[in-house]
Amino acid sequence: MAYHPDGYHLATAATDGTVRIWEATTGETLQTLTGHTDAVQALAYHPDGHQLATTSTDGTARIWNPTTGENLHTLPGHTNWVQAVAYHPGGHQLATGYDGTVRIWDATTGEPLHTLPGYLSWVQAVAYHPDGHQLATGYDDGTVRIWDATTGEALTLPGHSGAVQAVAYHPNGHQLAASSIDGTVRVCDATTGETLHTLDGQTGTVQAVAYHPNGHQLATRDGRIVRIWDSNTGETLHILPGQAMAYRPDGHQLATGYNRTVMIWDATTWETLHTLPGHTSWVHAMAYHPNGHQLATAATDGLIRICEATTGKVLHTLDGHTGTVQAVAYHPNGHQLATGYNRTVRICDANTGATLHTLDGHTGTVQAVAYHPNGHQLATGYDRTVRICDATTGKVLHTLDGHTGTVQAVAYHPNGHQLATAATDGTVRICDATTGKVLHTLDAHTGTVQAVAYHPNGHQLATAATDGTVRICDATSGETLQTLPGHSCAVQAVAYHPSGHQLATSSTDGIVRIWDAITGQPAGWRLQLFDDGLAVWAAQSGALVGVAGDSWGHLGYSLVVDGRLSRLPAETLGPLPQLTQGS
């Protein structure tokens, strides 16, 4: 995200390839810029605010008129993702980089001017010195290079043990901050390259860094946490929730992106001033549209809301359900939406909300629905049976019996040849999706199996149960490959990342855990959600790395005015987690 130089507008970028221009005070969307065909990685306003430059994983950079939304120039030439962009302070040049090179463009015509010598490493970040005489670049080999913007000579700064993710100059130009996947931020002398401070304490990759306009503070982002540091002493001043951040040019506000919303903070008191529109209703089930642009959420009031996934704007509300909607699934083509509630499945037009078919026959609340990958069939389940229906006519094609408990979850194998079903009898059945023949019965769990999910490559199946465990099984043989412990209560949901590298689980203990899908080890963070806040721990060390809202009370601590932690009486909330000063 980036503020307009006048501070009244805010630009945010999304993985769907769009950029939105907001009125920073009211949260009104002024423009939506479309044109990139993949995720937008970075954006920067021209110093006079009349242009906005964006870069994308589609391999291009674009220059826009942020007022009209017109695409002024498309800058080709990079051979891979374009990860970084920065305007020269004079506004006449633009620097972009990622594929081992940094390219300098004429910001008015879009013509290429120079290419800085290539290296074997990828360019992750670029930033101009405030006077325009230097250009700093960060690389995935852990180095930072400071270039003379006129001669092209470079000073190389080693020090990081992992890829550099972001670089930023102090407003006075005397210092340069660089952040890395090694979890540190190094503040260097911009002339000599000498390291002045190393800011550690982050629990993972530090993806972003930005100086307050007055230079007294430095903001960094690691994971979903934004940290505010005293730029002179390196002391941590504040911890905020956020996945992206930007200071308003006058320094009075900081914008952070968090949980599909943008929050505007007072940069002095750290009170939340505004929350830009997002979906705020408590929901029981949700599903993304196949194109990722929309999200369907089902609430306990029987309503289903179709929202724009990036803004949270409600596009449609589907009513007609007479109770809590337990399950929701999009047809692979995105044109239909199946919902399960009471003893009924409804197939709706995803655009108009019109009911196309109503499927009756279950003797209990329909708990699970899943479309076959080809969209021709729909599997539904609850009352010890799974029904396979024609997704167009609603005709029942097969009924799968065998579970001795109610069916809680169903999932198709990515190739559509198998169907996994889970029930309160503690078993998971892997069936031939055409004949209904049971191929394997998995009975390793000691409680109700609440959720199942296939790995995107189809070789593994993840199952989650009320016994607090998640099991990874071989999808062909049914053999248990790994058991993921850690949750203290029933595990309610499980989902693989589309890349297959990570697995997310959530539990009634209020915690969401991210796992390495290959090793089965905790990856990144674990999040605990409260009614009035959020706490985040490092998955590996167990250290508390940040809180939002009023989570301190739930953890058994109060945050004293000077930033110290004061332990509350143990009898207030029971056993308390161990914290170290400054956590």
Q: b/e string for 318-357 if b means 16 or more Cβ within 10 A?
A: beebeeebbbbbbbeebebbbbbbbbbbbbbebeebeebb
Nearest Cα neighbor of 460 from 430, 490, 423 is 430
According to the model, what pLDDT value does residue 257 have? 62
Domains 2-240 and 245-474 share a fold: yes
- The DSSP letter of residue 553 is H
CB distance 124 to 163 below 8 Å: yes
pLDDT at 476: 87
CATH topology for 245-474 is Methylamine Dehydrogenase; Chain H (2.130.10)
Angle at 464 between CA 459 and CA 469, to 5 degrees: 110
Residue found under tokens 């609340």: 365
Q: Which residue has the tokens 């059945």?
A: 429
Contact 53, 40 (CB under 8 A): no
Closest-CA residue to 569 (of 553, 556, 578):
556
For the chain, which residues make up each domain, given as ranges? Answer: 2-240, 245-474
Half-sphere exposure at residue 392, Cβ-oriented, CA atoms within 13 angstroms: 4
DSSP letter (8 states) at residue 375:
S
Distance CA 259, CA 266 (A): 19
Contact 493, 451 (CB under 8 A): yes
The overall pTM is greater than 0.75: no
Cα separation, 437 vs 421, in Å, equals 12
Q: How far apart are CA 63 and CA 76, in angstroms?
A: 12
Q: In terms of Cα–Cα distance, which of 423, 420, 417 is closest to 435?
A: 417
Residue-level length of the chain:
583
* Residue partners of 248: CB distance under 8 A and separation at least 6: 3, 7, 24, 254, 255, 267
DSSP letters of 98-122? -SS-EEEEETTT--EEEEEPP-SSP
CA triplet 249, 97, 293: central angle to 5 degrees? 75
Between CA 433 and CA 186 the distance in angstroms is 55
Please report where in the chains the tokens 């998971």 appear, as a residue: 428
* pLDDT of the residue at 544: 60
pLDDT the model gives residue 484: 85
Model pLDDT, residue 296: 80
Helix (H) or strand (E) holding 554: helix 551-555
The count of C-alpha atoms lying within 13 angstroms of the C-alpha of 94, restricted to the half-sphere facing its C-beta, is 29
Name the burial class of residue 150, with classes exposed (0-12), middle (13-18) and buried (19+) by CB atoms within 10 angstroms of its CB: exposed
Look at residue 551 and give its three-state secondary structure.
helix
Q: What is the pLDDT along the chain (583 residues), one digit of tens a residue?
A: 898 998 888 898 877 788 989 887 667 788 899 999 888 889 999 999 999 999 988 888 999 999 999 999 998 766 678 888 999 999 999 999 876 678 899 999 999 988 887 665 678 889 999 998 899 998 888 899 999 887 878 888 877 888 888 999 999 999 999 999 888 899 999 988 888 888 887 667 888 899 998 898 999 988 767 888 888 888 888 877 666 667 777 777 777 765 445 567 777 777 767 655 433 334 456 777 887 777 787 766 677 878 775 555 677 778 766 667 778 899 988 888 998 877 788 888 888 778 888 887 666 678 889 999 999 899 988 778 888 888 888 888 888 888 888 888 999 999 999 999 998 888 999 999 888 889 989 887 888 898 899 998 999 999 988 888 889 999 888 889 998 876 767 888 888 877 788 888 877 665 667 788 888 887 755 555 554 555 665 555 555 655 555 555 556 555 544 445 555 544 333 344 444 433 3
Provide CATH code, domain 2-240. Answer: 2.130.10.10
